[in-house]
Structure 1
Amino acid sequence: MAELLSDAEVTDALTGLPEWRREGAMIVRTVELPTFPDAITVVDRVAEVAEARNHHPDIDIRWRTLTFRCSTHSEGGITDLDVSLAREIDRLAAS
């Protein structure tokens, strides 16, 4: 099981993830893509990674805008699993 990160650890992790912000017990990023199909492609790629890791973000799809929310629900907050997934989402959103 993953361990919850302390507030200081979350703050440190977010310095390396400048597009992400903390909202309570989760980290959140909004991404805007050029087109709706581009947004869905990113969602598909994130879904593949999430399924392989068995760690899934909450994803809100609004036309070309995606909002990702990462939290380890079984632990009740933010863990290294969320930080690692956020890095991967950043990589996929940039490609």
Structure 2
Amino acid sequence: MAALLSPQERESLGTTLPRWQVEGDRLRRQWQFRDFSEAFAFMTRVALLAEAKQHHPNWSNVYNLVTIELTTHDLKGLSDLDAELAQAIDALQ
């Protein structure tokens, strides 16, 4: 079961997830790839990971740019699921 992050846990995200920005109730990160195919391949890997974890990102793709935002809609904020998925996404690269 997901749990909202405490204020201390939210604050530590800058250390544990330095490439991600906390924006309100979301974690956000962008990637730039060489081309659309490389971006789409990355999105496919993220999709399989998200499905396995049953926690799905908000995301967009414009040619070679992928933006991912993570939040736990059911809890209306950042949860441990968001932090875990962000770490797993980072490990894909």
TM-score (norm 1): 0.92
Please provide the CA RMSD for this pair: 1.0
The count of aligned residue pairs is 93
Distance 1:14 1:51 in 2: 26
Q: Deviations over 1:24-67 (max 9, x none)?
A: 10100011111110000010000001011110011110111111
5+ long unaligned stretches in structure 1 = none
Kindly, what percent of the aligned residue pairs are identical? 39
**Greater Cα shift, 51-60 or 1-10:** 1-10
TM-score (norm 2): 0.94
Runs of 4 or more, structure 1, over 3 Å off, are: none
5+ long unaligned stretches in structure 2 = none
Distance 2:16 2:24 in 1: 19
